[in-house]
A and B are shown apart, each in its own frame.
Chain A
Amino acid sequence: MAGWEIPLGAAIAFAAGAIGTAWAQSRIGSAGAGTIAERPETSGSIIVLEAIPETLVILGFVVASMIIIMVE
């Protein structure tokens, strides 16, 4: 199997992770901005929270890579 299915599968795995991350970061970002506006001392934790959804897109990237490398 070396047709269009493999790159498409990899693209879906990566894109879904990226969309999920974008959505989560937008929500955390707006709430985080509100929190920092009222309590600037929380900025450190907010930056960490904002970065957590990045794991989703990294996971998507790993899955996409595995699909391309391992599926033959």
Chain B
Amino acid sequence: MDLGYINARVRGMHSRLLGQKAFDALMIQQDIPSLVSELEKTPYRDEIQEASVLYPGLKGIETALRLNLVHTCQKILSLVEGSDAEPLVRIILARWDVHNIKTVMRGKHLHVSPEEIEECLIPAGSLGEPLLVELIKQPDVRGVVDLLATWEVPFARPLTQYLDEYASARELSVLEYALDRFHYENSLALLKAGKSDHEVMRTLLMQEIDSLNLKNAIRMNRDRVDPETAQKYFLPGGESITLEKFLIMVKANNIDEIVGTVEGTPYYFLASLIPEAMRTGTFSVLEKELDEHLTRKGTGVFRSDPLGGAVVIGYLWAKQNEIINIRIIARCKDARISDAELEKELRHV
């Protein structure tokens, strides 16, 4: 399909994203029922009405948001089918496949009930709801991997390769790392050199890899993981965080060494947050800042090339951020958290 047509539709969809006024209206609501009423005035109306019938309260809102994201992703995919933007959208949607496979494996590893696993799934990728329901029915992680292999899902390859290691060590992180590594390597390999949209996507993926490596390195430093083990969990292909920097961060004996590593990289904004995070042992602020940085980059590509496929990428990032923010508002309202705290929790991009 013509990119001009696709971009115009995506821009139309982008114009329906909630603005500051709509968010302010959501934030001033006192409780979940009034939040549901307010959401009924937004483009989430259909999903909210559908989900509220099935589940009351917070669960209804979360189900509606999930439904909306799935509908949006399916709509975008049907729009870009056969166009130059299709591989870019497929790469973005593959993240949901990774999320879903990891969620099912975690659920099976920790013997969580199928209903609880299903609540956490977002069938926005190539694995639709019926396939995910079949996955949940499997008795254990091996069953999940075997079923993925039977369906010839590409993600089964790295999982099958590391299944024995998982079985002997009972460490799910082995499989999760294999999945992440395969996803990023596969996605980067799909992108062609010289195409501006593909270069934009490559940069975003590389920054995503950096972000994951940074989070892992800081956590591993806190948990005093030995560098040899840590090295096994390094994701190659990042933009600024090399293996050398990663290992320095893991081995660092003081905060200054970690801060020094991010110096001269786009992640220097973390320098002021790392000491506090290391002292308190809570990394949520650090992770939030990193996620915000990544989201800012992702949503920023919407304004890059008006005639290219990057507009679609920017929209998908913006949509995801909007849903995350509504979810934060709903959870804070449910937990009766103050407006000031709620404001801090929101992702401002």
Is the CB–CB distance between B4 and A31 below 8 Å?
yes
Note all chain A residues with C-beta closer than 8 A to B15.
38-39
Complex Cα spacing A31 to B15, Å:
15
Q: Is B5 an interface residue (CB 8 A)?
A: yes
Is the Cβ of A30 less than 8 Å from the Cβ of B9?
A: no
Q: Mark A21-46, 1 if CB is under 8 A from B, else 0.
A: 00000010011111101110000000
Q: How far is the CA of A11 from the CA of B327 in the complex (A)?
A: 63
Task: Return 18 A-B CB contacts under 8 Å, by A number.
Answer: A27-B4, A30-B4, A30-B8, A31-B4, A31-B5, A31-B7, A32-B8, A34-B6, A34-B7, A34-B11, A34-B12, A35-B8, A35-B9, A35-B12, A37-B12, A38-B15, A38-B16, A39-B12
Cβ–Cβ contact A30 & B5, under 8 A: yes
C-alpha spacing A31/B1, complex, angstroms: 11
Tell yes or no: B273 within 8 A of A by CB: no
| Per-residue interface assignment for chain B, residues 1 to 40, with 1 indicating a CB less than 8 Å from any chain A CB and 0 otherwise | 0101111110111011000000000000000000000000
Chain B residues contacting A30 (CB-CB under 8 Å) are: 2, 4-5, 8
Q: Does B8 contact A38, Cβ atoms closer than 8 Å?
A: yes
Q: Which residues of chain B come closer than 8 Å to A32, judged between CB atoms? A: 8
Instruction: Enumerate chain A residues within 8 angstroms of B6, measured Cβ to Cβ.
Output: 34
B11 touches A35 (CB 8 A): yes
Measured CB to CB, the residues of B under 8 A from A are 2, 4-9, 11-13, 15-16
Give Cα A39 to B8, complex, Å: 10
Shortest Cβ distance from A9 into chain B, in angstroms? 33
B114 to chain A, nearest CB (A): 38
List 6 additional contacts besides A34-B12, A38-B9; criterion CB under 8 Å.
A30-B8, A31-B8, A32-B8, A37-B12, A38-B11, A39-B15
**Which residues of B have CB within 8 Å of A38?**
8-9, 11-13, 15-16
* A31–B5 CA distance with the chains assembled, in angstroms: 4
Residue positions of A touching B, CB distance < 8 A? 27, 30-35, 37-39
Interface of A is mostly: helix
CA distance A38 to B9 in the complex (A): 6
Contact A37 B4 (CB under 8 A): no
Write out the residue numbers on chain B whose beta carbons fall within 8 Å of the beta carbon of A35.
8-9, 11-12
Q: Which residues of chain A have C-beta atoms less than 8 A from B12's C-beta?
A: 34-35, 37-39
Q: In the complex, what residues of B have CB within 8 A of residue A39's CB? A: 12, 15
A24 CB to nearest chain B CB (Å): 11
Residues of B within 8 A of A31 (CB): 4-5, 7-8
B18–chain A nearest beta-carbon distance, Å: 16
Interchain nearest-CB distance for B10 vs A (Å): 8
Closest 3 CB pairs of A and B: A38-B12, A34-B8, A34-B9
For residue B14, which residue of chain A has the nearest CB? Answer: A38
Q: How far is the CA of A37 from the CA of B16 in the complex (A)?
A: 13
Q: Which residues of A contact B5 (CB under 8 A)?
A: 30-31, 33-34
A65 to B165, CA, bound (A): 82
- Separation of A30 and B11 alpha carbons in the complex (Å): 13
* Chain B residue nearest in CB terms to A46: B8
For A37, give the chain B residue with the smallest CB separation: B9
Nearest CB to that of B1 among chain A residues?
A: A30
Minimum distance in angstroms from B315 CB to a CB of chain A: 12
Residues of chain A lying within 8 A (CB to CB) of residue B4: 27, 30-31, 34
Which B residues lie within 8 Å of A37 (CB)?
A: 9, 12
Complex CA distance for A31 and B2, rounded to whole angstroms: 9
Q: Which of A31, A33, A35, A39 has the most chain B CB atoms closer than 10 A to its own CB?
A: A31
Closest B residue to A28 using CB positions:
B4
Counting chain B CB atoms within 10 Å of each CB, which of A27, A32, A33, A34 scores highest? Answer: A34
Min CB gap B87→A, angstroms: 20
Question: Chain A residue with minimal CB distance to B2?
Answer: A30
CA distance A38 to B7 in the complex (A): 11
- Residues from chain B with a CB closer than 8 A to the CB of A27 are 4
Instruction: Closest B residue to A42 by CB, please name it.
Output: B12
Give Cα A33 to B4, complex, Å: 9
